[in-house]
Amino acid sequence: MTERRKITVVGASLAGLRAVQSLRREGFDGEITVVGAETHTPYNRPPLSKSVLHGDDDVSLPGAEELSDDWLRGRRAVRLSPGEREVILDDGTRIHYDGLVVATGVRPRRLADHLEGVHTLRTIEDALALRGELEAGYERVVVVGGGFIGGEVATTARALGLKVTLIDAGRHPMRQSLGDEAARWLGGHHERHGVELISRARVSAVEGGDRVTGVRLDDGRSVPADLVVAGIGVVPNTEWLEGSGLAVDDGVLAEETLFARGTADIVAAGDVVRWPHALYDNTLVRVEHWGNANEQGAVAARNLLTGPEGATPYRGVPSYGTHVHGCRLQTAGLPYLADEVRVVAGAPQDDSFAVAFARNGVLVGAVAVNAPKELIRLKRAIIAKEALT
C-alpha cells in the first residue's frame, strides 16, 4: 500500500462522499480535506426531478451525516498544481496533498438565465425553485430535451395537471441511449399521457421580456411557455484543471484503474471521469448515472491507497433506472455501441418488454420496460460477454 498522509477530495457529492468513506474503511488514518462548492451536506440528486417536485424534501444520502473530516463548504477549486501537489481555491487558499481525488462532477447546459421562468435542474436550489413555480399556477411547461431529466420533469408536470410540451432534437426521445424500438415506445408513451411531443427540433431562441413567454424553434415555429426546463446535457467541471498538465477531453482522461493519465497520486471518479472500459474493447466512456458515481468513488479511493501497481480496474456496467408516467424504464451497458438489436422478451405495445443490444454478436447493452428480471438477466450476460442468441 502506498504511504499517504494527506488526501484531498475535490467534490463533495456522491462520488466524493463514497471516496471518503472508502478511505476510512480501508484504514487510512491520515488527514482528509474535502472541498465542496455547495454549502449543504452531500445529498441524493435523483429525487430532484421526481419526488422533490412533488413536495417531498427527503434527499438524504446514507453516510453523509458521518462526514466529519476537514470539509471546506462553499469553496471551489480554481487551479491544480501537480508539481507542488497543491489545489488552489477561489479564496486563495492553497491545499497541499499527497493523494488527490477529483470528483467535481458536471453542470447543466443552459438556455437563457436572464429570463425568469427558465430553469435547469442540478442542485437542491434548482429543484425548489422549479417546484415553487410548478405550484404557482403556471399552466404551460416546455421541456427542452427528452433525456432522463426531461422525461422525469415532463412526467411530474403532467401528474400535477399541467400542459407539457417536450421538444427533442432526435427522431424519438433518447434514441441513442435506448435504440429505435424503445425510443419509439417512449415517445408514444409520452403522447399517450398527454405530452405534446415535438421531435427533430432545436430551440434557437427563448422569447420574453423579464419573464419567458415561449421558445422559438429552428424551423421558425414559436411554442408558448409559462415555464421552460432545459435538459440539454451537461458539461464536465474541468476548467480548474487547465494548465495543470492533466489530460482532459470531455472529462478527466484516466486509466482503467481511474488514475489520471500519467499520474500516480491523482484519481478521478463520477460524472467527471472518462476511462477505457475493458468490457467494450477499452472504448473511452464517461457515465453520468448514480450507480457509477456510487461505485467509482469507492474504487478510486482504494486504488489511490494501493498505488497504480496494485490497483483494480473499474469495470462496472453502466446502469440506470427511471419511472416515466408510471412505467419503469431501465438500461444497462452501452446500447449505442450495438450493430444488432433484438426484442428478447414481451412486446412494446404491451408496455412490458426487453431489448438486447450486441456488437459482433456479443451483448453490450440492454433496455427493459416494466421487465426488471429481464434487465438483471441481460446485465449478467453483458458482464459475462455472452453471445446474443
- Angular region, 98: left φ>0, alpha ψ -120 to 50, beta rest: alpha
Domain termination site, one of 187, 213, 230: 230
Clarify whether residues 238 and 102 are in a common domain: yes
Residue 248 DSSP symbol: B
Task: Name the one residue in this structure whose C-alpha cell is 475535490.
Answer: 10
Whether 174 and 97 map to the same domain: the answer is no
In whole angstroms, how far apart are CA 49 and each of 12, 53, 216, 228? Answer: 20, 6, 25, 14
Domain annotation covers residue 317: no
Question: How many other C-beta atoms are found inside a 10 Å radius of the C-beta of residue 58?
Answer: 9
Q: Chunk the chain into consecutive blocks of 10 residues (it has 389) and report each block's average pLDDT, rounded to whole numbers.
A: 86 95 93 93 92 91 75 94 97 96 96 88 95 92 96 95 96 94 97 98 93 95 96 96 97 98 97 95 93 96 95 94 96 95 96 97 97 97 93
Three-state secondary structure call for residue 147:
coil
Name the residue range of residue 369's domain.
326-383
Burial of 207 by CB count in 10 Å (0-12 exposed, 13-18 middle, 19+ buried)? middle
The sign of the CA dihedral 88, 94, 97, 101 is negative
Burial class (CB in 10 A: 0-12, 13-18, 19+), 293: buried
Same domain, residue pair 94 and 18: yes
SS3 for 284-298 is EECCCCHHHHHHHHH
What number of H helices and E strands is found in the chain?
6, 26
- Of 230, 265, 293, which residue sits at a domain end? 230
- Both 103 and 245 in one domain: the answer is yes
| Three-state SS at 42 | coil
Find the CATH number of the domain harbouring 45. Answer: 3.50.50.60
Q: Is 163 found in the same domain as 186?
A: yes
Q: How many domains does the chain have?
A: 3
> Residue 2's pLDDT is what?
64
> What single letter denotes the amino acid at residue 72?
L
Same domain membership, residue 101 and residue 122: no
Strands annotated E in 83-225: 86-89, 94-96, 99-102, 106-108, 118-119, 140-144, 163-167, 196-198, 203-208, 212-217, 222-224
Query: Could you give the CA distance from residue 329 to residue 159 in angstroms, rounded to a whole number?
Result: 18
Residue of 248, 245, 249, 256 whose CA lies nearest to 303: 256
Query: 3-state SS of 91-120?
Result: CCCEEECCEEEECCCEEECCCCCCCECEEC
Domain end point (choices 230, 250, 282)? 230
Please give the pLDDT value at position 69.
59
CATH number at residue 367: 3.30.390.30
CB atoms closer than 10 angstroms to residue 113: 10
- The residues near 196 (Cβ < 8 Å, ≥ 6 apart) are 163, 164, 165, 166
pTM for the whole structure: 0.94
Instruction: Of 71, 76, 61, 174, give the one whose Cα is nearest residue 124.
Output: 61
Residue 315 domain flag: no
Asked whether residue 203 falls in the same domain as residue 148, the answer is yes
Residue 388 lies in a domain: no
What lies within 8 Å, CB to CB, of 204 at 6+ separation is 216, 217, 218
Whether residue 75 is found in the same domain as residue 158: no
The answer to whether residues 78 and 37 belong to one domain is yes
